[in-house]
Amino acid sequence: MGFKIYLIAITNAANVNTTDIPNKIGFDNLQPANEISISEAQYENGISIGKYDDTIFIVSSELVFEFYHKNPSELEKKLTNEFPNSEIAILTLNQTTDFYGYNIITNGKRKRVRSGADTEIEIDFGEKLPEELDISKDPLFGLYLEELKEFQSSDKDFTKKQMKAEIEQEIGVRTFFKLTSRYFGKPIDENGTDYNEIKVTKFE
């Protein structure tokens, strides 16, 4: 089935209560309900909110897609106004639909926005992040490229354009996992990540 991750991370938020977040993002009517793990929240409808150290996490399979437009949405503007001195990261992955996305906002400004699905890039804005640039140095990525080249040589219908699209998709997904280490100590697909320790509250 693969990962499904719909995550908004807001750093430098030590003095902010999670119960204040719905009001800050325009959902005044929401009230806290039950507590669940952050991984369980990925499969729930609605909004779940938690805090780990000085970082607030918002989980919503709907809200994350407000951050992958060419121009900032009203929700993105609200968050950047409320947290002007934070790094805000929108990290999205659905391995069932082959969608990946990340939007990194630092001190109120978009630094990097990239999303794609099924080998099609939907938005690609800003300079590449260190996590993206490091991928080419990864021996495992080198093995992936070798396997892809072998596949191309054995399948005449697999064009260079298709191969490039496959590589870009792979880079996007690998970058997503690398970015999660910024907020969870280690990537969420590795042992020892803090991701598995985090609890969030579902709001209804």
Supply φ then ψ for residue 94, to 5 degrees.
Answer: -135, 100
Residue 106 backbone zone (phi > 0: left; psi -120 to 50: alpha; other: beta)? beta
Question: Above pLDDT 70, what percent of the chain?
Answer: 100
The predicted model gives 63-88 an average pLDDT of 97
- Where do the H-state alpha helices sit in the chain? 21-24, 38-41, 74-82, 130-134, 139-154, 160-184
Domain of residue 55, residue span: 4-203
The predicted model gives 32-43 an average pLDDT of 97
At 2, is the pLDDT very low, low, confident or very high (cuts 50, 70, 90)?
Answer: confident
- The count of structural domains within the chain is 1
At 142, is the pLDDT very low, low, confident or very high (cuts 50, 70, 90)?
Answer: confident
Q: What would the pLDDT profile of 51-70 be if each residue is shown by its tens digit?
A: 999 999 999 999 999 999 99
Q: What order do you get walking across the sheet with 4-10 strand by strand?
A: 32-37, 199-203, 47-52, 55-59, 4-10, 87-94, 99-106, 109-117, 120-126
Look at residue 154 and tell me whether its pLDDT is greater than 70: yes
